[in-house]
Amino acid sequence: MLLNLLLTFTFLMVGVKSDPDSLQDYCVSPPSTHQQIFLNGVLCKDPTQATVSDFKTSALSRPGNTQVKPFMINVTVTTTANLPGINTMGLTMARLDFGASGIVPLHVHPRASEVTVCLDGVLLVGFVDTSGRVFTQELHPGETFVFPKGLIHFLYNIDTVSSALAVSGLSSQNPGTQIVSLSSFISKSPIPKEVLKSAYDINGQDVC
């Protein structure tokens, strides 16, 4: 029985990988429709109908408004809606606009590693590995930092007056994002208060 479990586990681990390789040059997503078939990705349009505009976007060229966003941060990402040619490519780009003291709070991307380049300002970034070690670094313009897949990490604009700007690349078309605090305390189906009180060592008044 144990041998069978070990063999099964080994088979699963060998099969674990990032987004699957494409079987063709590209798979441009078609115009938005009411998709009735749910796939691990997005449908492809006829390759002969692909145009150069499918592979270009200006979505990341426009500054985001940090004043109306929680945490004084605005994140703009490439998707198959604004960059159809990215479909099945296994990557995502993101523009991160930080207001003064803006922060991308502790969060994880369950399906992607992330590499971030600071373009303007000074950012304090870091992640926590599975042994509890914390790796932090100040990023200045032109400097780059990588966040391993699935690990809790953050990005913080240490300037209390000026804004900051960064660009990130992620190794999945759909990296997923879970902000630890929001997932814990304002999930759509509330986590039982007893669990939160015990997990975070807080009293009932601290749990909304």
- Interval 32-57: pLDDT, tens: 655 566 566 688 888 899 999 999 99
Averaged pLDDT of the chain: 86
pTM: 0.81
Task: State how far Cα 156 lies from the chain centre.
Answer: 16
Place of tokens 């080994």: 10
13 has a pLDDT exceeding 50: no
Q: What contacts 24+ positions apart, CB below 8 Å, involve 134-143? A: 139/166, 142/117, 142/118, 143/117, 143/118
9 has a pLDDT exceeding 50: no
11 has a pLDDT exceeding 60: no
Higher pLDDT, 43 or 178: 178
Rounded to an integer, the average pLDDT of 94-106 is 97
Token readout for 10 is 């080994």
142 has a pLDDT exceeding 90: yes
Higher pLDDT, 80 or 11: 80
Q: Which pLDDT value is given to residue 188?
A: 84
pLDDT band at 157 (very low <50, low <70, confident <90, very high): very high
For residues 5 and 1, give the distance between their C-alpha atoms in angstroms, rounded to a whole number.
6
For residues 75 and 127, give the distance between their C-alpha atoms in angstroms, rounded to a whole number.
19
